[in-house]
Structure 1
């Protein structure tokens, strides 16, 4: 039997995943149940810690969360340069190219946030928009 997470703790975890790696590690060590928890910023703008790290280009945080068992999604895959995952999802559902991530941030912005690691994903996404 597990207890529910406090909303304040979930919000703090997701908020810190935008850039404070040490705080993310500290909170996750204290409460492993936070790993896939999501916070609603309002109007259905749900975000996980992995989602936060992905749109901020925080590869270090994203890889840490994935190592701990976070569920990867299209946006994190794009930021991390995981071209095979991005291709597979878009091939399966071409509309995914236009799906918006947390805070209505487009897929391309996530890919560009990955810097050099995600150049191949950026090129692929650009090729689909021509």
Structure 2
């Protein structure tokens, strides 16, 4: 159908813009962003100061999954911090409160069935870089005896590096 035929077929009245009341669709009032210095402090203490993690989370529950941007694509959450240093007490505390677990935490805790399923789902995870470029192998090493099976599995897949530069 040509343009002229189309216009004639719909009639001139349908070209008149209806006069509907203007409706304003506004987003619900958003909470302000977390203070960057507060997020950085939370991530820093999550490396090993469980008492301070508890205190900060009590005051600011939304820190649980907050990530600090160290620059250069290096993002780190409290759980990521605890995981890459092998601090299972802090990591478990955060997990118990609903922190978003990832493949690195799975490696730390030696959860072979979960790790294998994740790698089967997304094979490129085998080369994933965690905070500061730490690899799955690094996290498995930090997991000690609990993660020995994962360490051996990763090495059988050719993993050698424990840290890969982010850029």
Shared fold, TM over 0.5:
yes
TM-score, normalised via structure 2 length: 0.75
Match of 2:83 in 1: 54
Matches within 5 A, 1:58-97: 58-97=87-126
Report deviation, 1:125: 1.0
Larger deviation: 69-78 or 88-97?
A: 88-97
Higher relative contact order (CA 8 A, sep 6+): 1
CA distance in 2, matches of 1:103, 1:26: 26
Match of 2:9 in 1: none
Q: Does 1:120 align with 2:144?
A: no
CA distance in 2, matches of 1:46, 1:67: 22
RMSD: 1.2
Higher helix share: 1
TM-score, normalised via structure 1 length: 0.95
Deviations 1:28-55 (A, max 9, x none): 1110000000001111100000000010
Mind listing any 5+ residue stretches in structure 1 that lack a counterpart?
none
Mind listing any 5+ residue stretches in structure 2 that lack a counterpart?
1-29, 160-167
CA distance in 2, matches of 1:103, 1:74: 15
Task: Give the greater-gyration-radius structure (CA).
Answer: 2
Q: How many residues align?
A: 130
